[in-house]
Amino acid sequence: MLTVKRISKDEADLMIAAAEDKSSELGIPMCIAVTDESGNLIAFSRMDGGKVSSISIAIDKAFTASAAKNPTEFYNEMCRPGSPTFGIHTSNQGHFSIIGGGLPVVSGIEIVGGIGSSSGTPAQDIEVSHAGLDALLSHWEKTKNKK
């Protein structure tokens, strides 16, 4: 039997709230998704004005980051014509996102979840997802210190 770590719903909510704050700061309403370590959706938010086409992109980014265990921007670099990884973007029924904005959530050496944002440029999407991730890491740091 294996024992696996997974972010909780409360942790997902905390990430989404921080990502929403960053989106508001940037003035770009986003779609933000958080998945568990297996790539399954835990929480999702489409802010007022977030793009309809970004609903599935955000979810796919979070899925990819947690299931493939890398930031989605990593695969963007790897997935260029002539690169041996080119073509990975059509795998997983098109749900494998290679657009920046998907980040794995790492605890120790384990991937315990993923976050994905979409509606801005990839750079903006990455910034928003990072804000969500950083909020969780800060929360863990604070909780640890309390113990």
Q: Binding string, 21-60, against its own copies, x = CB under 8 A? A: ---------------x-xxxxxxxxxxx--xxxxxxx--x
92-121 residues near its own copies, rule: CB under 8 A: 92-94, 96-100, 107, 112, 121
Contacts of 145 (CB under 8 A, 6+ apart): none
Assigned token pair, 50 = 């977030």
Does 133 sit near its own copies (CB under 8 A)?
A: no
* CA-to-CA dists, residue 140 to 86, 103, 132, angstroms: 37, 17, 13
Does 80 sit near its own copies (CB under 8 A)?
A: yes
Residue 3, Cβ density class (10 Å: 0-12 exposed, 13-18 middle, ≥19 buried): exposed
Interacting residues with its own copies (CB under 8 A): 1-9, 11, 36, 38-48, 51-57, 60, 63-64, 66-69, 73, 75-76, 79-82, 84-94, 96-100, 107, 112, 121-123
